[in-house]
């Protein structure tokens, strides 16, 4: 009976009820939409990271730190035999890193030189172009690198580097291809060449800085010089950034929920005031104060329930569009070097995300609907019948 009465009252409130339902629905759509964006962004970044550079993790030289240029020229060692077996099977890809300088159009640009086997298959890098070009040293760069260095396909540019002993060496390299990669860690400030060629240039045969592993379950025991870095470890900065982004998102939605709840609260306060005679009649007919409070609370909860349905109907086209077509961030965002933003972010919605959002909104709405009804508890039926608030 309580739910029936609540439903009638909602109907009776007409436009006011409709506005409340739409406001709550919009907040729900916003929360689910943004959570879907963060989840999709994270998944895009993780997929790109796996496909382009990190596989299922890396066996990395213990001295290598990608943020510490100090470490680049001393963090390499001969590839252990058991890892070389994986490389030979095609389930691991060694990468050697050194620092260098190029001189396009007489300008000097410091960069990272990365060596990777031209014949590797499992990373998406188009390394086939690095295959021996005779006297030429073919090199591969990303489109961002090409843009910042003004290099084009076919350009010849002088590269200067130090070998493993510290002696300067220099040679001309040919830009064999410019790749479009969404994974900026394989693009910005670096040039790729064949691993054997770089080993020769560095006078460091059979060495690598890290070895990308196709399947983390395959990681063999290695000496203390190497350490395994899982994909979660490699993406830890991304996770940390996403956590911060989500926190900002939650704060924004807490604010929106607050505004929606003020509307509900206001509606309830007004309802309790306007319907004091009705409350008195209910009390006179034998309804307990608890039952009356429950009825008003049920009304509030019904707003949230209807809002959930409305959010499903109104939000579905939006969710489907962003879940299939995705959202491409403006070009300027790509300059920030944030992973996962170079290609369209396909939004990803999980059942847990949707259910938790509905539950949170329903519970908060119920709570906000319940607070104004506390006055009913202090109301005498006689006063209520006379239209007084006690």
Applying CB under 8 A, the residues found at the interface with other proteins are: 68-73, 99-101, 103, 105-108, 110-112, 158, 160, 162-163, 165-171
**Cβ proximity to other proteins, 103 vs 370, nearer residue:** 103
User: Least Å distance between CB 175 and other proteins?
Assistant: 17
- Of the candidates 303, 261, 302, 277, the one whose C-alpha atom is nearest the C-alpha of residue 376 is 277
**Cβ proximity to other proteins, 103 vs 122, nearer residue:** 103
**Cβ proximity to other proteins, 74 vs 388, nearer residue:** 74
User: Least Å distance between CB 98 and other proteins?
Assistant: 10
**Cβ proximity to other proteins, 47 vs 160, nearer residue:** 160
User: Least Å distance between CB 134 and other proteins?
Assistant: 16
The owner of tokens 């064999």 is 176
CA dist list (Å): 155 to 47, 164, 178: 32, 27, 11
Q: Tell me the C-alpha distance between 43 and 346, whole Å.
A: 9
- Of the candidates 244, 98, 228, the one whose C-alpha atom is nearest the C-alpha of residue 164 is 98
User: Least Å distance between CB 75 and other proteins?
Assistant: 11
Whether residue 9 contacts residue 299, with contact meaning beta carbons closer than 8 Å, is answered with: yes
- Of the candidates 322, 354, 346, the one whose C-alpha atom is nearest the C-alpha of residue 28 is 354
User: Least Å distance between CB 88 and other proteins?
Assistant: 31
User: Least Å distance between CB 211 and other proteins?
Assistant: 22
**Cβ proximity to other proteins, 160 vs 174, nearer residue:** 160
**Cβ proximity to other proteins, 27 vs 113, nearer residue:** 113
């Amino acid at each position: 009976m309580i739910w029936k009465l609540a439903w009638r009252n909602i109907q009776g409130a007409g436009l006011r009820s409709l506005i409340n339902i739409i406001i709550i629905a919009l907040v729900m759509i916003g929360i689910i939409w943004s959570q879907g964006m963060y989840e999709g962004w994270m998944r895009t970044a993780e997929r790109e990271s796996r496909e382009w550079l990190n596989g299922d993790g890396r066996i990395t030289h213990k001295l290598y730190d990608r943020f510490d240029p100090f470490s680049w020229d001393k963090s390499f060692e001969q590839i252990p035999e058991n890892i070389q077996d994986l490389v030979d099977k095609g389930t691991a890809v060694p990468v050697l890193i050194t620092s260098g300088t190029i001189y396009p159009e007489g300008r000097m640009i410091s960069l990272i030189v990365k060596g990777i086997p031209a014949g590797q298959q499992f990373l998406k890098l188009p390394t086939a172009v690095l295959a021996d070009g005779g006297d030429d040293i073919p090199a591969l760069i990303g489109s961002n690198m090409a843009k910042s260095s003004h290099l084009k396909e076919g350009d010849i540019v002088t590269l200067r580097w130090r070998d493993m002993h510290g002696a300067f060496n220099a040679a001309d390299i040919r830009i064999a291809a410019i790749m479009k990669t969404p994974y900026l860690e394989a693009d910005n400030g670096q040039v790729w060449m064949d691993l054997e060629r770089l080993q020769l240039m560095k006078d460091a045969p059979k060495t690598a800085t890290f070895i990308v592993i196709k399947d983390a379950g395959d990681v063999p025991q290695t000496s203390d010089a190497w350490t395994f870095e899982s994909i979660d470890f490699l993406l830890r900065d991304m996770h940390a950034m996403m956590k911060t982004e989500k926190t900002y998102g939650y704060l924004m939605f807490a604010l929106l929920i607050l505004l929606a709840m003020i509307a509900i609260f206001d509606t309830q306060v007004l309802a309790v005031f306007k319907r004091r005679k009705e409350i008195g009649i209910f009390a006179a007919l034998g309804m307990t104060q608890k039952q009356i409070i429950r009825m008003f609370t049920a009304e509030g909860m019904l707003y949230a329930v209807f809002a959930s349905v409305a959010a499903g109907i109104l939000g579905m086209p939006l969710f489907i569009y962003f879940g299939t077509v995705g959202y491409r961030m403006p070009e300027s965002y790509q300059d920030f070097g944030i992973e996962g933003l170079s290609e369209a972010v396909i939004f990803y919605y999980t059942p847990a995300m949707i259910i938790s959002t509905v539950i949170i909104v329903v519970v908060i709405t119920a709570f906000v609907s319940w607070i104004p009804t506390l006055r009913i508890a202090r109301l005498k039926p006689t006063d209520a019948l006379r239209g007084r608030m006690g």
